[in-house]
Amino acid sequence: MMIKHINLHVIEMPLKQPFITHLEKVSKRRGIIVEVVDETGLKGYGEAVAFTTPWYTEETVQTCFHMLKDVLVPQLLKEMITSPRAFHKRFHPIRRNHMAKAALDMALCDLEAKKQDIPLWQWLGGVNQQVPAGVVVAADSAEAAIIQIHQYVDQGYERVKIKVSPERDIDLLKRIRAKFPDLDIMADANSAYTLEDIDKLVALGQFNLLMIEQPLGVDDIVDHAELQQKVETPICLDESIVTFHDAESAIKLGACQVMNLKIGRVGGLLPAKQIHDLCLHNGIKVWCGGMIEFGISRAHNLALSTLEGFSMPGDLSSSSRFWEEDIITPAIEVVNGKVTAPMKPGIGFDINEKRLEEVTVLKEKLNRI
C-alpha cells in the first residue's frame, strides 16, 4: 500500500436543531475528513469525530488535527504500510489519541476494500446487509422530546435513546413511556450519576428500559460492576471502553451486559471489530453508538454494524437527521426501520465534492517525502 498523499479537510456544518445533553449543547459540528490517496489515484476516506471542546473525551478537533498533520501522517508517508493492520502495529507506541488514529484507520480500511473491489462491510466480515436503526433524542424539555419521538417512530426507527441526568430522569421517562408504552427505549446518562444515586438508578427499572448507558464515571469499571449487581436493568458501558483491555476488564468484573462501540473512541474499525469479537464470545451485547457524524463516519458505522454481534439497533439515523445536505451521495436513509449497506466497493458512497468544498474551513495537503 503506497500512499502518495493525504488531504485533511476541516469542515463545519450547522445542525438542523441543537443536540442537548447535560454536558453540552451542540448547534454546529466541526470535524476532520481524511482523504488517503494511493499511487494509482484510488482514494480512501475516514473522519475524526472529536468535538470542538473536550466534553466527550479529552480529544478535540484541534488536537486531532495536530496529531494527524504533525505526527501520524508524516510518519505514515515516510513508510511503506502494507495494510491497515500494519498501521496499528506501527503506531501502537503513540499513546491514546484514538480519534486521530481512527480517522486514518477508517481511510486505510476503505482504501484496502476498494483495492480488493469489495464492499467495506464484507471486507470487515459483516453478515447482515440490513441493519436496524435507532435514534438519539436530546431535547431541552419533555414536550420537545415527545414531539421528536413521534417523528422518529413515524419514520420507522426501532429504538430511541433518551438523554437523562439526576435532574431530568424519572418524570421525563414517565411522560415518554406513557405516550409510547411499547417502544424500545434506553437511557443515556453520560456519567451524570454516582453510586449515591443508587435508589434513582434502581427506580429507572420501572420503565422497562433496554439499558442504562454509562451512568457512572467516564473512566470507571469497578463501580459499574457494583451497580450492575444491584439493578435489573442492563448496564451499558460507553466512555469506559477505550481499549481491548478495558473491554476484557469490564467483562471479567461483570461491569455491564452491553457495550456501545464507537469507532473513534476505540481507535478505528479494526480495534472495534476486535472488541466486538470478544463480546460475541462472552455473550455481551453490542451496538454502534453515534457521534453526530458526517456521512463518511456514518458509512463506516454502517459497515461495522453488519457484524454478527450487532443485534441491537445502533445510532444509525438518516443523514437528514442532522444535516440539510450531507457530504456523501446518496445520503444515508432509514427505510422501514433499517439501513441497507451498499454493494459498491469500500464505504459504498460517493463524496459530494461540491458540498465538501462548501463546508471546508481549512485544508492541508501532505505529500510523501
Question: pLDDT digit string (tens) for 219-244?
Answer: 999 999 999 999 999 999 999 999 99
According to CATH, the topology of domain 123-340 is: TIM Barrel (3.20.20)
* 156 in Cβ contact with 321 (< 8 Å): no
Nearest CA among 163, 134, 155 for reference residue 335: 155
Report the pLDDT averaged over residues 272-292. Answer: 96
C-alpha cell at 90: 506501527
163 an active-site residue?
yes
* Cβ atoms within 10 Å of 148's Cβ, excluding its own: 17
- 75-84, 267-276, 289-298, 354-363: which has the minimum mean pLDDT? 75-84
Q: What one-character DSSP code corresponds to residue 335?
A: B
Report the pLDDT averaged over residues 177-203. Answer: 94
Q: What is the pLDDT of residue 336?
A: 87
Q: What is the pLDDT of residue 309?
A: 96
> Per residue, what are the HEC states of 40-56?
CCCEEEEEECCECCCCC
List the catalytic residue out of 101, 114, 161, 262.
262
Q: What are phi and psi of 77, to 5 degrees?
A: -75, -15
* Cβ atoms within 10 Å of 230's Cβ, excluding its own: 10
Q: What distances in angstroms separate CA 42 from CA 45, 47, 112, 120, 226, one per listed residue? A: 10, 17, 10, 15, 50
Q: Collect all residues with Cβ–Cβ distance below 8 Å to 268 and sequence separation of at least 6.
A: 84, 88, 98, 101, 102, 104, 105, 106, 109
**Model confidence band, residue 189 (pLDDT cutoffs 50, 70, 90):** very high
Q: What is the pLDDT of residue 35?
A: 98
Nearest CA among 149, 186, 163, 133 for reference residue 316: 133
**Which residue bears the cell 488536537?**
63
* Cβ atoms within 10 Å of 208's Cβ, excluding its own: 13
C-alpha cell at 17: 436543531
What percentage of the chain carries pLDDT values higher than 70? 99
Q: What is the pLDDT of residue 60?
A: 97
- Which H or E element spans position 249? helix 244-253
Amino acid letter, residue 233:
T
* 26 in Cβ contact with 18 (< 8 Å): yes
Percent of residues in the chain assigned helix, strand, coil, to nearest 5: 40, 25, 35
CA distance 289 to 163: 13
Q: Is the pLDDT of residue 89 over 80?
A: yes
**Model confidence band, residue 97 (pLDDT cutoffs 50, 70, 90):** very high
Q: What is the pLDDT of residue 137?
A: 86
List the catalytic residue out of 101, 114, 161, 163.
163
Q: Is the pLDDT of residue 22 over 80?
A: no
Report domain extents, the chain: 3-117+350-367, 123-340
Q: Collect all residues with Cβ–Cβ distance below 8 Å to 104 and sequence separation of at least 6.
A: 34, 36, 46, 68, 72, 73, 76, 87, 268
Of residues 158 and 203, more confidence is placed in 203
CA distance 224 to 201: 12
Q: What angle do CA 107, 109, 110 make, to 5 degrees?
A: 65
Output the furthest CA–CA distance in the chain (Å, rounded).
62
- Side-chain half-sphere exposure of 162, counting CA atoms within 13 A: 34
* 11 in Cβ contact with 360 (< 8 Å): yes
Q: What is the pLDDT of residue 18?
A: 74
- Asked: is 3-117+350-367 a CATH 3.20.20.70 domain? The reply is no
Report the pLDDT averaged over residues 180-200. Answer: 94
Q: What does the chain come to in residues?
A: 369
CA distance 137 to 313: 14
Question: How deeply is 95 buried, as exposed, middle or buried, from its count of CB atoms within 10 A (0-12, 13-18, 19+)?
Answer: exposed
Q: Residue ranges of the alpha helices (H) in 120-213? A: 120-124, 142-154, 170-179, 198-203
Amino acid letter, residue 143:
E
Q: What is the pLDDT of residue 369?
A: 72
Q: Is the pLDDT of residue 312 over 80?
A: yes
